[in-house]
Amino acid sequence: AVRSWLVEKSDCMFVGLKDSAYECGATSEKMLYAVDTNIHHVEHWGSIMENVGNNEYYHHFGNEGSLPPGVDAKSTEYYKEIVGYGKQCQSSIDEKFEYSLHFTSLGIDLNEAYDVKPKSGGDLPFDFHGDGNIDLVVGRLKDKSGDKKIAPSDLLSDFDLEICKCSFDGKKFHIADPHNTFSGKTQMEPKRRAVVSSYAAHFSPPANKYLSGAEASTHTSAVIRKVRVDVRSTP
């Protein structure tokens, strides 16, 4: 429903997965098994008009720009191309899930409910090389314990910066820590001191100093599981 709204009501297009945000997480072997979140993945969306304009102008004039006034972005050859790409985008996403985000190694489910595809009778403009500033955060079907369905608040609680916990529920804006937020400031996870103290208490150096990245990650993950028992409200 949200994707349909982005395409049909906001003239947006899908421009890929926000997998670069995981460079210090899933794509780093040393943190591979320490990743534990209610967020399944983050999609990147952008303006159809801006992407079509940039593409068309680039091919004709050699740099980025916008379409002349009165030109229908959806009548351009580029738009026709990206609608075609959208019909096949799931194969690109599956490759990202497997090789960039390491979902199989992490044991993260790949249920077809996460598939990104055009709705029946509709279009899904898609270009992994496109630009955009809209992040669509997609939650897991069940929480990281596997016990209950995910609610939006469960996703917000996984962000360690308070300013990232601001939200809009369709009726009201909810501003986390408004004094700092409106001043352009933010705090990190409020219980970070307790997290560090617990981690220090449970951590012991591995017997083998020369661990592979994945082995080091397994060791770290065991400590993090104990920290989450001590400090239950932390991400």
Which ranges in 157-207 belong to alpha helices (H)? Answer: 178-181, 192-202
Question: What is the structure's pLDDT at 20?
Answer: 54
Question: What is the structure's pLDDT at 24?
Answer: 40
Question: What is the structure's pLDDT at 201?
Answer: 93
Q: Which amino acid would we find at residue 160?
A: D
Residue pair 53/78 in contact by the 8 Å Cβ criterion: no
Give strand pairing partners of 161: 188
pLDDT band at 129 (very low <50, low <70, confident <90, very high): confident
- 202 three-class SS: helix
* Residue range 117-136: mean pLDDT, rounded: 89
* Residue range 62-87: mean pLDDT, rounded: 79
pTM equals 0.72
